[in-house]
Amino acid sequence: MTEEIAAARGRAGRPTREQAEARHQELLDTALDLFLEHGFEVATIEMIATRVSMTKRTIYARYPDKATLFRRAIQRAIERQIVGQAVLEGLDEGGLAATLEAIARLRIEQLASPEGLRLQHIINSESYRFPEIFTAHYEQSTKPVVDHVAGLLARAVEAGEIAPTNCEFAAVAFMSMVIGGRVRGIVNGLAPTAEERDEKVRFAVRLLLDGLRPRSDP
């Protein structure tokens, strides 16, 4: 009976670590939504506290000011877009072209997802005020994929599948073809159909590999 009473008191008293972390994540998600809806300048800690049913004092106990909360909310959104190395390696389709296509499709799907669109919208609207969020997104989410593609190309050079090249430059160019020209359209609600996406991905892969195919000296 004593253990049951203690457990009941625990449930009615302080939240567990898991419950506290869940509320913290809810705070960050809510803050990001409001920053996106109203912009950094207009959104206030009071608005966020009301939406998430917290007191301003509770929020300020963790984040001393609105800018700190904003940066942490953005960082959480970036972390949710990171593709782990194991996932990238799992996209190996057994051939360079097919593997590049799989990576390209993954990145387009990420960008077009609700989380990807939300993050891209807020980076587009607030990076002039917080340039570090653009850099953080590139370094943590984009660059690991570029580096992985560069590694694939380097191994293809060693195997004689493609001509020697600056693999980092080639990887950046490839990802720019795949994503760079589509960001504006996707963010503005003009996401390609699956058929259009696949056609453009295959074209980008063919263009890359045709430009890098070994050629005999004249």
What is the residue whose two structure tokens read 């919208």?
121
Q: How many domains does the chain have?
A: 2
Of the residues 34, 55, 79, the one at which a domain ends: 79
pLDDT in tens, 31-77: 999 999 999 999 999 999 999 999 999 999 999 999 999 999 999 99
pLDDT surpasses 60 at 184: yes
Output b/e per residue, 84-100; b: 16+ Cβ within 10 A. eeeebeebeeeebeebb
Same domain, 112 and 150: yes
- According to the model, what pLDDT value does residue 180 have? 72
Which domain covers residue 49, as residue numbers?
A: 2-79
Residue 33 belongs to a domain: yes
Query: pTM of the prediction?
Result: 0.83
Residue 96 belongs to a domain: yes
Same domain, 195 and 93: yes
Residue 218 belongs to a domain: no
Residue 201 belongs to a domain: yes
- According to the model, what pLDDT value does residue 10 have? 47
Same domain, 60 and 99: no
Of the residues 56, 79, 102, the one at which a domain ends: 79
pLDDT in tens, 88-122: 999 998 899 999 999 999 998 888 888 888 898 89
